[in-house]
Chains A and B, each alone.
Chain A
């Protein structure tokens, strides 16, 4: 992976978040949550800086980042698409919906699209099993999604107008 140079503002964010947790090694997970919330993802350079601030090894930080699925080293798309793969959604056809998203966007799970607009991920149970299968785009929840609706959902964001009509359709 090519190295990136962290912007001054990003470094400032990292330093501030670490300081908020007293630069304590034991607060690593909270620090990672805080930094990811602000920067969007945790590339190697960010992890190095966090390790420096908390006075611990980069390997340990990397070990924790890669252990938990919530943390990501790849930037998410402008509109992150998550397909619920909980059991309730699975038995109501989530896999077909996922395959249709992959086909339409021409990306695999975990990847951003080439224009950076979308990224695709799976998550486990949103807790809206009554609406299975469930798809989330950003914070917005789409319930009872069929593979036929996938094209329409994507179109909503490509055209840049997230409308109500498309959701109820």
Chain B
């Protein structure tokens, strides 16, 4: 690829594709043809750059100019000005929110400064549909090293020494899992990649598979070498069409290069991977449920032990790891366990990818060393709270996690600290909440998810969560009683203690942690019939302040249901029986004449 003078990297992640990044690529290619620049300029569609808030992103190489919010209409100017005349286009550069100055290079953006990209090392750098680009960045070198220089035991020892723990949420030591699978006797063993990312608001695994599928394939092959398997399976959500397509392409290329198949790299080692599709069941992220689903059954979990390492797919020893866990493996082998273990905290090594979203300025996909504080993530990388509002809490661990308040802003992020604070690492969703988010409604939102996703096999989860949900529903409708909060607590503990699998054992966490840190909000709902965040509609009314209303008709014109009446220059009124409490009038009014009561 060095023969080109310029490379134009276009983000082909799902977020940017939704904002026309494909059209941008097409437009570039057409113009390059028209301008006769085919031999000088190459267009590369890459995986996610991470800075989704500013997408679609176009990066120019080799000078690393980082253009944000690019539209297909900008392509001509980029080619004629930047490529031909060598002049940066200032209006497309990122502006530092503090200094208001344009920043042309991602290394100097606050969003990237504190990040360390190991699992995401190739996302945004290479064309995920071209195996040569992966190989050019040391791809398949780790597999080669394992096959030619290391015994399976040495590889396992290296992974153990690195301190890598499962990135799917549980945090089980990866090397230990590999060792158990390797030691269990068996004529047939399986290597499984769990790509059934179901946590709402998390898209790490998807971005890795879309941006760097070969890293996962390589790591699975390394695992197969260690455990003595010849058969790999990737269990992936059918709802991720782009990731599926890129993975298929990558598998095909790896086979053509002899990196999958028989006698890989000249060694006595056979391995191939097939794809299995998930069909939208969150519980299938649990490894026993996942295995049942791969067998064509309902994805219901079974009691552990026996663990899949001993008794997995069709009863054979099966090693199940998550996408992000695998993506770390080639780097550990190439750079060494000591290097990896030097990053992070005492018990959590390496980095973690988070999908940062919610009430934050810089929504995106980030990767930080373990031990980074929430404050650094939210304020330095995330750029602070959107709209200058007040930080209220950050939710980690998705439906299994909890809320962390401002008192934890300086807590270093690792598995154990998050657990001690009443939340958990989870797969890496990180949702920032501000003052306008009601914590009772948040807890209810997560429970609604759990309810839908509970497989129904064990009654604490199936019935208990339903009752929890009903109590929360009652509270958000202003019908709560004093005793409800105590009921929530007791029932939560029963569900935690008696559910069969991880889904039920963690599902009350959002309830418990919101009660723990935001009891005053529960009290306000129950005792005062008031929602302090103004989110619970049953407890909310919009009214016009007669003294302030100028009769500008702005609210009247914007009300989607015609609930507002009034003449120009006369006080307006809201018909409460028609009002759907959407808040548009409140947002639109320039005179503060509409209030929430």
Contact B363 A132 (CB under 8 A): yes
Measured between beta carbons, the chain A residues less than 8 angstroms from B364 are 130
Contact B14 A126 (CB under 8 A): yes
Render B257-284 as a binary contact track against A, CB cut-off 8 A, 1 for contact: 0000000000000000000111111100
Render A64-92 as a binary contact track against B, CB cut-off 8 A, 1 for contact: 10011111000000000000011111111
Instruction: Say how far B406's CB is from chain A's closest CB, in angstroms.
Output: 17
Contact B200 A92 (CB under 8 A): no
Instruction: Say how far A103's CB is from chain B's closest CB, in angstroms.
Output: 7
Contact B200 A86 (CB under 8 A): yes
A29 within 8 A of B: yes
Contact A124 B198 (CB under 8 A): yes
Measured between beta carbons, the chain B residues less than 8 angstroms from A103 are 561, 580
Measured between beta carbons, the chain A residues less than 8 angstroms from B445 are 87, 90
Contact A70 B433 (CB under 8 A): no
Contact B296 A129 (CB under 8 A): no
Contact A148 B584 (CB under 8 A): yes
Complex CA distance for A141 and B20, rounded to whole angstroms:
10
The stretch that binds A, out of B124-132, B202-210, B521-529, B544-552, is B202-210
B52 within 8 A of A: yes
Measured between beta carbons, the chain A residues less than 8 angstroms from B359 are 91-92
Measured between beta carbons, the chain B residues less than 8 angstroms from A148 are 558, 560, 584
A11 within 8 A of B: no
Given A88-B431, A103-B580, check contact A127 B15 (CB 8 Å): yes
Measured between beta carbons, the chain A residues less than 8 angstroms from B561 are 103
Query: Out of A25, A63, A86, A128, which one reaches B298, CB within 8 Å?
Result: A63
Complex CA distance for A126 and B19, rounded to whole angstroms:
13
Instruction: Say how far B362's CB is from chain A's closest CB, in angstroms.
Output: 9
A163 within 8 A of B: no
A30 within 8 A of B: yes
Q: Which of B175-229 contact A (CB under 8 A)?
A: 198-203, 206-207
Render A12-29 as a binary contact track against B, CB cut-off 8 A, 1 for contact: 000000000000111111
Instruction: Say how far B539's CB is from chain A's closest CB, in angstroms.
Output: 15
B582 within 8 A of A: yes
Contact B206 A127 (CB under 8 A): yes
Complex CA distance for A71 and B293, rounded to whole angstroms:
14
B595 within 8 A of A: no
Measured between beta carbons, the chain B residues less than 8 angstroms from A25 are 296
Contact B52 A129 (CB under 8 A): yes
Q: Which of A118-169 contact B (CB under 8 A)?
A: 123-132, 134, 141, 143, 147-148, 151
Instruction: Say how far A81's CB is from chain B's closest CB, in angstroms.
Output: 15
Q: Which of A26-42 contact B (CB under 8 A)?
A: 26-30, 32-33
Contact A67 B240 (CB under 8 A): no
A100 within 8 A of B: yes
Complex CA distance for A40 and B279, rounded to whole angstroms:
15
Contact A129 B584 (CB under 8 A): no
Contact B280 A70 (CB under 8 A): yes
Instruction: Say how far B287's CB is from chain A's closest CB, in angstroms.
Output: 17
Complex CA distance for A128 and B365, rounded to whole angstroms:
10
Instruction: Say how far B20's CB is from chain A's closest CB, in angstroms.
Output: 9
Question: Which one of B53, B357, B433, B584 has the highest number of Cβ atoms from chain A below 10 Å of its Cβ?
Answer: B357
A111 within 8 A of B: no
Complex CA distance for A64 and B561, rounded to whole angstroms:
42
Instruction: Say how far A95's CB is from chain B's closest CB, in angstroms.
Output: 8
Measured between beta carbons, the chain B residues less than 8 angstroms from A27 are 296
Complex CA distance for A32 and B558, rounded to whole angstroms:
46
Instruction: Say how far B292's CB is from chain A's closest CB, in angstroms.
Output: 10
Contact A129 B201 (CB under 8 A): yes
A52 within 8 A of B: no
Measured between beta carbons, the chain B residues less than 8 angstroms from A57 are none
Contact B203 A129 (CB under 8 A): yes
Render B406-444 as a binary contact track against A, CB cut-off 8 A, 1 for contact: 000000000000000000000001010100010000100
Contact B19 A131 (CB under 8 A): yes
Given A128-B18, A130-B53, check contact A70 B201 (CB 8 Å): no
B358 within 8 A of A: yes
Complex CA distance for A127 and B299, rounded to whole angstroms:
23
Question: Which one of B15, B277, B431, B558 has the highest number of Cβ atoms from chain A below 10 Å of its Cβ?
Answer: B15
Query: Out of A63, A91, A147, A151, which one reaches B584, CB within 8 Å?
Result: A147
Contact B18 A131 (CB under 8 A): yes
Contact B431 A147 (CB under 8 A): no
Question: Which one of A70, A71, A124 has the highest number of Cβ atoms from chain B below 10 Å of its Cβ?
Answer: A124
A113 within 8 A of B: no
Contact A33 B358 (CB under 8 A): no
Binding site for A on B (CB under 8 A): 13-15, 17-19, 52-53, 55, 198-203, 206-207, 238-240, 276-282, 293, 295-299, 355, 357-359, 363-364, 395, 398, 429, 431, 433, 437, 442, 445-446, 449, 452, 455, 558, 560-561, 580, 582-584
19 additional A-B pairs beyond A64-B297, A87-B201, beta carbons within 8 Å, are: A24-B296, A25-B296, A26-B295, A87-B445, A88-B363, A90-B201, A91-B357, A91-B358, A123-B239, A124-B200, A124-B449, A125-B199, A125-B201, A127-B14, A129-B363, A130-B364, A132-B357, A148-B560, A148-B584
A-B interface, 10 closest residue pairs, ranked by CB to CB distance from nearest: A130-B52, A87-B201, A88-B357, A68-B279, A127-B203, A141-B18, A86-B200, A69-B280, A70-B280, A70-B279
A-B residue pairs in contact (CB < 8 Å), sample of 11? A30-B277, A67-B299, A70-B279, A88-B355, A91-B442, A100-B560, A127-B13, A129-B201, A130-B364, A141-B17, A147-B584
